[in-house]
Amino acid sequence: MLSRTRLLAVSRKEVLQLRRDTRSLVLAFLLPVLLLVLFGYAITWDVNDVPTAVLDRDRTSRSRELVEAFPASGYFTITERVERPAEIDRLLDRSAVRLVLVIPPGFAADLDAGRPARLQALVDGSDANTATIVLGYTRGIVQSFSVDAVVNGATVRPPVEARSRVWYNEELESKNMIVPGLVAVIMMIIAAMLTSLTIAREWERGTMEQLASTPVHRVEVVLGKLLPYLAIGMIDVGVVSVVGVLLFDVPFRGNAALLAVLSLAFLTGALGLGMFISAVARSQLLATQIAMVATFLPAFLLSGFMFSIDVMPRVLQAITYLVPARYFLVVTRGIFLKGVGVEVLRVQGLLMIAFLVLGLFLATRVFRKEIQ
């Protein structure tokens, strides 16, 4: 039979140890905010102010109009005016520009005559992601210019005009997707690392002998040690969320209470996983290393935070179902950006509850009070 008194006594003992452990306090309260600010500014998929060179061999008002459309879009900056084709290789080799726009002679004449006008766009493909985005921007600008082209004095309009509307991230800013994802990734790492030190610390400091001599059940030890870190984790989720909204101007459209409840389930599972690692390793250094490998890499690479799961090989797609951060990532982005409720996040909530049960089961199963 579990005793509330013994459980709270273990929790009080863990709080006292935390107050004397400056390293753990820094890890608990400062590191999440530091990681959010660092990754929030460092990671971006936005491509703006692309350095662009122009070789205008037509030198007409129509060619100048096309060139001016590029900086007017806000995505490109004309940094070089090229006079000879031989200069293009030098600029791309030195990465001085990302895009070279080449307008051949007769560009305006072809437009006025109703013939297809030729245009060449040379893109530095050493960074494939940036090159793909730059090509997309270029096509959009050229298509917009073509729609407004004047042929024989008449403005050409397409028979079908598409008007797109973006929901949830209207400005298409990557920070609005990155910051909510960082909440999930950071809390997975911090939670597991915090509790990965608990039981290992008892063994290293020689206090496990004292704990073994008490009538405290191992379930009471696990839950008692977990409760202070669960409170810290909930505070961290709140602080990181507020910093993300205020510092990065990320919208928060959902229910804060729903985020708190789902965060509680996720953190409990992550803390249980960290305690399981601590019980197995029995060394703070080894436990920290295992926790980092077991949480950071899967959460960062296989949760859908950095790379879309849909484009991964099927084997890796199957592995992602074992990564709890995958489900919490859907929760944070859904609540922050879309304002969705339980009816949408029901499956993720149930899976995180399963993760909670598994984490506590593993921690309780592996932990032994006996001195070996």
Tens-digit pLDDT profile for residues 223-267? 888 899 999 999 999 999 999 999 999 999 999 999 999 999 999
Q: What's the pLDDT at 342?
A: 93
Q: Is 21 exposed, middle or buried (0-12, 13-18, 19+ CB in 10 A)?
A: middle
Strand partners, 150: 155
DSSP secondary structure string for all residues of 45-79? ----SEEEEEEESS-SHHHHHHHHHHHHTTSEEEE
Whether residue 114 contacts residue 80, with contact meaning beta carbons closer than 8 Å, is answered with no
What is the per-residue pLDDT across 120-141, written as a single tens digit (0 to 9) for each? 999 998 888 888 889 999 998 9
Domain ranges across the chain: 9-43+173-366, 50-155
Strand partners, 285: none
| pTM exceeds 0.85 | no
DSSP secondary structure string for all residues of 275-319? HHHHHHH-SHHHHHHHHHHHHHHHHHHSSSSSS-GGGS-HHHHHH
Rounded to the nearest integer, the mean pLDDT of the chain is 86
- At the topology level of CATH, where does 50-155 sit? abc type-2 transporter like fold (3.40.1710)
Residue with tokens 């870190």: 229
Pick 211 or 246 by higher pLDDT. Answer: 246
